[in-house]
C-alpha cells in the first residue's frame, strides 16, 4: 500500500519494496502551507493519506483553499495522536468557520443605517448569542444608550467582556428577570427608553416539554409584565423575537412563543395600549447557543458520536448577522407586522453532520452518527408560516411580511383571561389546539 504522510510541512511516502518490506522515504519538505498546496495540485495518487491535525487546521483556515479539492476520492485519516487535546484546535477552527461549511443563502437585508442614532434601547436576553450580537450592532448604529438585561450572571459576564473595548457610557448592564416589575420600573424611571427588543426566552423544546410551567412563566407571564411596564412608562415601540416553531406549534415552547405573538398583536385592544410593534421569526441560527452546529462541534472535540433525532429531520438555517439585520430592519419599520427571512430550502441535519465530519476526517461513516429518535414536541420539518397566514402574506426582497389577521385560536374571553395572568389555563389551551 502506498501511503502519504503529511506532518509538519513534511511529506513522507511509504511503499512496499520488492522484498515485501514497508519502506518509508522523505520525499518533500515545505517552508509553509503554500508549498503543501502546490504539491497537491500535482494530483499525485496514493492509497491512503495521513495528516497531522495541526497542519490540517491551517489548511482549512486558508480562505482560498479547500484541502479535499486535490484529494479526489482517496481515503484520508488523521494521524494518531497521544494527546486528545490535539483535536481541540481543529474543532475550534471548524467552529470559527461554521458559516463556510454549508452554503447558506446570502440574505443581506436592507441596512438600517442611522435609524438608531440617538435612541435609547432596552434589550432583554442581551447576553445570548443573538442578544449580544444585537447589542454590538446597536452601538455601531450610535444609540445614545443600550440597556442590557439578562437573567444569567454568566451571560452578563461574557457580554461585558465582549463590550470591554466599547464606550462604557453607551452601555448599562443589569442582571435580572425581564418580568421583574420592580427592576423594570427602576430601568424605565432612570432611562428614557425609546425601544424595547425582547430577545429573552426559554428556547429548548425538549427541556420545556418537561417544564411547561417554567416555559409559560418565563416566555409568557414575563413578556406580559414587560408589556405592562412599557405601557405604564410610555414606551410604545416593541420588538418581539419569535421562532419558526411558533407556526403551527407542536411543542410547549413553540406554543408559548405563538402565544406571545398573539398577545403582542392584541395588546392595543386588550391593554388599551398604543404599541407600534414588529415580530421577527427565526429558524435555526447557526452558531447560536443551543443550535445544532455547536453541539456537533462539542461532540467532535470529545470524540463522541453525533446524535441526530431522525434521518429525515430538517431545519431552516440562517446566520446570526442575518438574524440581527432582520431585527434592525423590523424595529425601524414597526408597522404591526411579522417579518420572516426567506431562508431558502431547509437543511437536512444528517447533511450538516456529514459536512462537519468531513472537515475533520474527510471520510464519512454512518457509524459516527447515533439516531436517537424525535423528542416530545419535535417535528421532522418546521414551517415558517401557516396556510392561514399565507392569505395575508407579502414578500419584499428577501423578507416575508405577515399582516396580523385575527383567527379562531383564542376567544376574546380566553385572551382576556391570559392578559389577566391566568397562566395555569395555558396548558389546557395547548392541549386543545393539538387535538
How distant, in Å, are the alpha carbons of 196, 235, 313 from that of 192?
A: 11, 9, 46
Within 372-424, where are the H helices? 387-390, 412-419
Please say if the pLDDT value at position 86 is more than 50: no
Residues 8-22 have a mean pLDDT of 51
CA gap 407, 203 in Å, rounded: 25
CATH 3.40.50.720 domain span(s) along the chain: 120-434
For residue 134, name the pLDDT band (cuts at 50, 70, 90): very high
Residues 359-378 have a mean pLDDT of 76
For residue 277, name the pLDDT band (cuts at 50, 70, 90): very high
> Which 8-state DSSP code applies to residue 201?
-
- What is the homologous superfamily of the domain 120-434 according to CATH? NAD(P)-binding Rossmann-like Domain (3.40.50.720)
Radius of gyration from C-alpha coordinates of the chain: 26
**Mean pLDDT highest for which of 181-190, 207-216, 244-253?**
181-190
Residues 355-359 have a mean pLDDT of 72
> Cα dihedral sign for 95, 209, 428, 432?
positive
Q: What percent of the chain has pLDDT above 70?
A: 69
Q: What is the pLDDT of residue 421?
A: 74
Please say if the pLDDT value at position 10 is more than 70: no
3 state SS for 286-355: ECCCCCHHHHHHHHHHCCCCEEECCCCCEECEEEHHHHHHHHHHHHHHCCCEEEEECCCCCEEHHHHHHH
Q: What is the pLDDT of residue 148?
A: 98
CA end-to-end span of the chain: 62
Q: What is the pLDDT of residue 77?
A: 54
Q: Are strands 10-16 and 3-7 parallel, antiparallel or unpaired?
A: antiparallel
Please say if the pLDDT value at position 265 is more than 90: yes
Element (H, E) at 237: strand 237-243
CA gap 250, 270 in Å, rounded: 27
Please say if the pLDDT value at position 429 is more than 80: no
Asked which of 225-234, 335-344, 361-370 is least confident by mean pLDDT, the reply is 361-370
C-alpha cell at 291: 443550535
Q: Which residue has the higher pLDDT, 427 or 401?
A: 401
Please say if the pLDDT value at position 320 is more than 70: yes
C-alpha cell at 185: 420600573
Q: What is the pLDDT of residue 353?
A: 84
Residues 165-169 have a mean pLDDT of 87
Give catalytic residues, as residue numbers: 245
The backbone torsions φ and ψ at residue 365, rounded to the nearest 5 degrees and listed phi first, read -140, 125
Residues 28-51 have a mean pLDDT of 58
Q: What is the pLDDT of residue 362?
A: 44
- The pTM for the full model equals 0.77
CA gap 354, 249 in Å, rounded: 29
Q: What is the pLDDT of residue 435?
A: 44
Asked which of 11-25, 150-164, 285-299, 306-320 is least confident by mean pLDDT, the reply is 11-25
For residue 75, name the pLDDT band (cuts at 50, 70, 90): low
Residues 6+ apart with CB under 8 A from 313: 348, 349, 350, 374, 378, 380, 381
Q: What is the pLDDT of residue 54?
A: 54
- Mean pLDDT value across the chain: 79
Amino acid at each position: 500500500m502506498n501511503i502519504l504522510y503529511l506532518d509538519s510541512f513534511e511529506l513522507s511516502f511509504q511503499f512496499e519494496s520488492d522484498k515485501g518490506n514497508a519502506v518509508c522515504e522523505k520525499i518533500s519538505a515545505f517552508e509553509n502551507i503554500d508549498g503543501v498546496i502546490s504539491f497537491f495540485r500535482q494530483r499525485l495518487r496514493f492509497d491512503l493519506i495521513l495528516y497531522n491535525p495541526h497542519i490540517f487546521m491551517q489548511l482549512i483556515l486558508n480562505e482560498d483553499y479547500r484541502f479535499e479539492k486535490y484529494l479526489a476520492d482517496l481515503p484520508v485519516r488523521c494521524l494518531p495522536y497521544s494527546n486528545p487535546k490535539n483535536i481541540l484546535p481543529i474543532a475550534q477552527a471548524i467552529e470559527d468557520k461554521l458559516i463556510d461549511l454549508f452554503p447558506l443563502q446570502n440574505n443581506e437585508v436592507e441596512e438600517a443605517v442611522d435609524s438608531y442614532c440617538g435612541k435609547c434601547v432596552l434589550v432583554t436576553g442581551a447576553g445570548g448569542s443573538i442578544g449580544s450580537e444585537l447589542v454590538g450592532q446597536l452601538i455601531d448604529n450610535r444609540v445614545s444608550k443600550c440597556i442590557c438585561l439578562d437573567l444569567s450572571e454568566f451571560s452578563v459576564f461574557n457580554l461585558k467582556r465582549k463590550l470591554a473595548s466599547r464606550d462604557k457610557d453607551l452601555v448599562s448592564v443589569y442582571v435580572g428577570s425581564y418580568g421583574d416589575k420592580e427592576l423594570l420600573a427602576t430601568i424605565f424611571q432612570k432611562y428614557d427608553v425609546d425601544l424595547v427588543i425582547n430577545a429573552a426566552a426559554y428556547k429548548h423544546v425538549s427541556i420545556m416539554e418537561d417544564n411547561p410551567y417554567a416555559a409559560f412563566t418565563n416566555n409568557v407571564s414575563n413578556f406580559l409584565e414587560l408589556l405592562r411596564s412599557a405601557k405604564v412608562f410610555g414606551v410604545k415601540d416593541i420588538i418581539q423575537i419569535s421562532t419558526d416553531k411558533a407556526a403551527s406549534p407542536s411543542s410547549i415552547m413553540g406554543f408559548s412563543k405563538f402565544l406571545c405573538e398573539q398577545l403582542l398583536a392584541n395588546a392595543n385592544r386588550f391593554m388599551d395600549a398604543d404599541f407600534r410593534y414588529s415580530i421577527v421569526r427565526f429558524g435555526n441560527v447557526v452558531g447560536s447557543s443551543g443550535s445544532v452546529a455547536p453541539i456537533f462541534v462539542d461532540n467532535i472535540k470529545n470524540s463522541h458520536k453525533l446524535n441526530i433525532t431522525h434521518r429525515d429531520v430538517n431545519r431552516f438555517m440562517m446566520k446570526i448577522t442575518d438574524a440581527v439585520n432582520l431585527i434592525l430592519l423590523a424595529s425601524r419599520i414597526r408597522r404591526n407586522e411579522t417579518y420572516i427571512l426567506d431562508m431558502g430550502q431547509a437543511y437536512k441535519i444528517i447533511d450538516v453532520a456529514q459536512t462537519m465530519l468531513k472537515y475533520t476526517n474527510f471520510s464519512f461513516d454512518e457509524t459516527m452518527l447515533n439516531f436517537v429518535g424525535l423528542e416530545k414536541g419535535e417535528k421532522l420539518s418546521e414551517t415558517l408560516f401557516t396556510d392561514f397566514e399565507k392569505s395575508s402574506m407579502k414578500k419584499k426582497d428577501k423578507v416575508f411580511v405577515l399582516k396580523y389577521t385575527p383567527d379562531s385560536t383564542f376567544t376574546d374571553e380566553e385572551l382576556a383571561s391570559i392578559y389577566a395572568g391566568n397562566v395555569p389555563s395555558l396548558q389546557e389551551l395547548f392541549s386543545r389546539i393539538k387535538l
